[in-house]
Amino acid sequence: MKIKLFLADDQYLMLEGIKAILKHEPEIEIVGTAQDGHSAINQVIKLQPDLVLIDIEMPKMNGIVATKYICQYMPDTRVIVLTSHKQPSYITQALQAGASGYLLKDSLVEDLKRTIRSLGKGYDYVEAKLSTKTVKRRPIISMIKYQKKSVYLQNITKAFINQPLKANAPNFRKLLLILAIF
């Protein structure tokens, strides 16, 4: 089954570049685009994609506010923030708004593809190079996946936590990601 992806970025060249990069990926189908946050919300509700790749800096409504609305009205649609902002405050705001992934625009093409595939399989993702800059005292947890009623955590420092944690709260994985940043 293909991952239905929606793109939102105010820069036309960025949208076309991502479309060109992902055009030949057999498991990814781009179902629509928008160049502002308000249009992104309307199109996502209409098209019901699996994933939304959204920029933060956009006219009419920024990507963080749009992410909050998308996650509120389309809880089965997952959001990846693709931005140039490296500051921890942006990461935290994006995750609190409901984003399941955070990736920098200067990432490698393979990182973009891997992130889309990971979120399509139910994982959350925060780019490793961001976590090393934002987290000094404790390592960040970069991927979380629900399996039955447990959550298994994978640490980006290659140390694995093998004990399942019960996911009693609906936003448990988001909470873990936010806590891992600090």
Domain ranges of the chain: 3-135
Quote the pLDDT of residue 107.
82
pLDDT digits (tens, 9 = 90+) for 40-71: 999 999 999 999 999 999 999 999 999 999 99
- Is 118 a residue whose pLDDT tops 50? yes
Q: Residue 37 pLDDT > 80, yes or no? A: yes
pLDDT at 126: 66
Gap between the Cα atoms of 23 and 140, Å rounded: 32
- Residues 157, 139: contact at Cβ < 8 Å? yes
Whether the pLDDT of residue 113 is over 70: the answer is yes
* Architecture of domain 3-135 in this structure: 3-Layer(aba) Sandwich (3.40)
Residues whose CB is less than 8 angstroms from the CB of residue 49 and which lie 6 or more positions away in sequence, other chains included: 4, 5, 6, 31, 32, 77
Among candidates 74, 66, 127, which has minimal Cα distance to 97? 66
What pLDDT digit, counting tens, does each position of 88-102 carry?
Answer: 888 888 888 888 888
pLDDT at 9 over 90: yes
Model pLDDT for residues 121-176, shown as the tens digit of each residue: 877 766 655 554 433 323 344 444 443 333 444 433 333 333 344 444 445 555 55
Cα–Cα dist 105/85, whole Å: 9
pLDDT band at 31 (very low <50, low <70, confident <90, very high): very high
Mean pLDDT of 13-39: 94
pLDDT of residue 135: 35
